[in-house]
A and B are shown apart, each in its own frame.
Chain A
Amino acid sequence: MAEPVTILIDGAPVAVESGTSLAAVLLSRGRWQFRRSPSGEPRGPLCGMGICFECVVTVDGVPNVRACLEPVRNGMDVVTDA
């Protein structure tokens, strides 16, 4: 299950465990801020189940991806707004 894969987080390559959600990976690295709200407030995960859209990040150029529902894949390019 726990095969390591490499992903890019804000341009930096990071080895992470597969079978994990992107939100779990970011949190495990001490990152609690994922994005900024319309007025610029820092925000991070709230519901952990795809409801609240507080954990959205850009994945492979696609904006507003819910990190809590996104499984990590080798080579994925993640950009946060933090």
Chain B
Amino acid sequence: MSSPMPEREADVVVIGAGPAGIAAACSAAGGRRVVLLDSSVRPGGQIWRHRSPDSLGPAARRWLHRLQCHSVCFEGRHTVTEVERGRVACTAPSGAVTFRPETIVLATGARERYLPFPGWTLPGVLGVGGLQALIKEGATVAGLRILLAGSGPLLLPVAAACADAGAELVGCAEQASATELARFAAGLWRDPRKLLDAARYRFKAGNCAFRTASWVRRVERTDAGLSVELVTPAGMQRIACDLLATGFGLVPSTELAQQAGCAVADGRIVINDRQETTMPGILAAGESTGIGGADAALIEGRIAGAMAAGRGMTHELPLAERAGHQRFAAALERHFALRSEVRGLATPDTIICRCEDVRLGSLDPAWGSRYAKLMTRAGMGPCQGRVCGPALKALYGWETDACRIPAFPVPLGRLLTHCLTTNPTEE
């Protein structure tokens, strides 16, 4: 049967061009036809997002250079909509494309966790990582008053980035206590580079007030911008700003893995020490297997790439290093654990599902994600619960429902093509 959906040859398809995906693609290349897919224009993922490589550190530049030297075919602006063993379907500006690789490497990374509070849907309230990404893409924030609030080690580098970009930082609020933060920092002695980074970011952020055990309770729009109620150990403070960036740590992006039938546990793709998922022919590396940072992602990517190339485990692979980074991931979870107050900020009329405008009051805590979808359409919009899923997990302990196909919205014409070309006996 002639297929209207173009098919492309590849031995290995790597999904996601952050550090893990780049390392996997480079490590798999050489004798194998390797395709690296990403929804962004350029490789780099979130941490190495850039307009010019000059803005990046030496390690990032080295890996991006390596990517060009190896015979890896990078395809930007390709959004993967479906993965199953031996098949990757995506949409690109030119239309739909299908690959039939022997091996798939999932390097889908992570995204921010957002917790709902009154006013969190207002324009000008955005993610901490979201703000960083937009600044990296060239958004001008010079002169804007910015308040950062949330949790996790991303707050400091973004504070530094805002200061660098000429913004006026009016505060930085971390919900974890000073004690937990000190314990986290103390644990960094194994990795002095991370400690140095933190000190450098703190210095760059200048004299901005860094508050611990503090969080945003509510934000409203006023004629003069945003008015934020910040809960601090010294009582409630009202802060005026133009932008409020908020985020509560990272959650692994596991939708494609779940769709492909790979086991996911504790919100992470389950892998063995060879980066193999529970599904033959599908490997995973980087943040989607647990939040460990870019260095861990590079190591996992190298291992996954070597496996994808059929080289197997060799002595050069940095297995001991990987173990160190896994300890870092555990420390993150322990010291930045969400306090109950930040999980209880939404009021009955606070929107939880931003795609479908479903408010907290219309959800029953006794339901689960799937029942909530049926009753209210919560999680049924274009983001498919990527925003409200982790929030409802934090609020009500609801497990995230599996992602449906396609994993991202596709224009109807392309979906029809897909239905006509998918052989039902393969399901």
Contacts and interface: CB of A to CB of B under 8 A. Distances in A.
Interface of A: 1, 17, 19-21, 23-25, 27-28, 32-34, 37-39, 41-54, 56, 62, 64, 68-69, 71
19 contacts: A19-B52, A20-B138, A21-B41, A21-B138, A23-B134, A23-B139, A24-B139, A27-B140, A27-B141, A32-B243, A37-B355, A41-B351, A43-B123, A47-B130, A50-B79, A52-B354, A52-B387, A56-B382, A62-B411
Given A17-B138, A24-B139, A53-B381, A48 B126 contact: yes
A76 to B, nearest CB: 12
Of the listed residues A32, A39, A43, A49, the one surrounded by the most CB atoms of chain B closer than 10 A to its CB is A49
A33 B46 CA distance: 23
A42 B133 contact: no
Which of A17, A32, A52 gathers most chain B CB within 10 Å?
A52
Contacts of A44: 123-124, 126
Contact of B41 (A32, A39, A71): A71
* The 8 nearest A-B residue pairs measured at CB: A44-B123, A48-B133, A48-B130, A20-B138, A24-B139, A28-B140, A32-B123, A24-B137
Contacts of A37: 121, 351, 354-355, 357
Contacts of B137: 20-21, 23-24, 48, 68
Contacts of B122: 42
Given A33-B123, A37-B357, A45-B134, A50 B39 contact: yes
A54 B112 CA distance: 14
B387 A46 contact: yes
Interface of B: 39-41, 46, 51-52, 77, 79, 111-112, 114, 121-127, 129-134, 137-141, 243, 351, 354-357, 381-383, 386-387, 409, 411
B127 A48 contact: yes
A19 B40 CA distance: 12
B168 to A, nearest CB: 15
Given A24-B137, A27-B134, A46-B114, A52 B386 contact: yes
Given A23-B137, A47-B111, 20 more contacts: A19-B51, A19-B138, A27-B139, A32-B123, A32-B243, A38-B357, A46-B127, A46-B130, A47-B127, A47-B130, A47-B387, A48-B129, A48-B130, A49-B111, A49-B130, A52-B387, A53-B381, A53-B409, A64-B409, A69-B77
A47 B112 contact: yes
B200 to A, nearest CB: 23
A69 to B, nearest CB: 6
B387 A41 contact: no
Contacts of A39: 357
Of A21, A23, A56, most B-chain CB atoms within 10 Å: A21
B130 A42 contact: no
Contacts of B411: 62
Contacts of A20: 51, 137-138
A57 B123 CA distance: 14
Contacts of B141: 27
Nearest to B242: A32
Nearest to B221: A42
B376 to A, nearest CB: 12
Interface centre among A23, A24, A44 (most CB of B within 10 A): A24
